[in-house]
Amino acid sequence: MISRYLAGLLLGLTSAASAADSSSCYNIADADARTYCLALAHNDPGRCYAIQDSALRSRCLAEIR
């Protein structure tokens, strides 16, 4: 249930993070969503490993690689 919420939230954030700088990611309260946003903004797959939700971690790794 939370994963679907995060997925919807992150779809909106992905375009915002790539269009702007990483500073917009720091406004995200959820730690996993914030880490995901930063990983995408920096194009850094190493940051994905800090995500606790395994589904979101896998998605992060798939999108960056």
pLDDT tens string 18-45: 545 789 999 999 999 999 999 999 999 9
Query: How many degrees, rounded to 5, is the angle at CA 35 between CA 7 and CA 54?
Result: 55
Structure-token pair, residue 2: 């939370």
Nearest residue to 32 (alpha-carbon basis) of 50, 19, 45 = 50
Helix axes 31-42, 2-19, angle to 10 degrees: 30
Q: What is the pLDDT of residue 22?
A: 86
pLDDT tens string 42-55: 999 999 999 999 99
Whether residue 9 is predicted with pLDDT greater than 90 in this model: the reply is no
Distance CA 23, CA 30 (A): 15
Whether residue 5 is predicted with pLDDT greater than 70 in this model: the reply is no
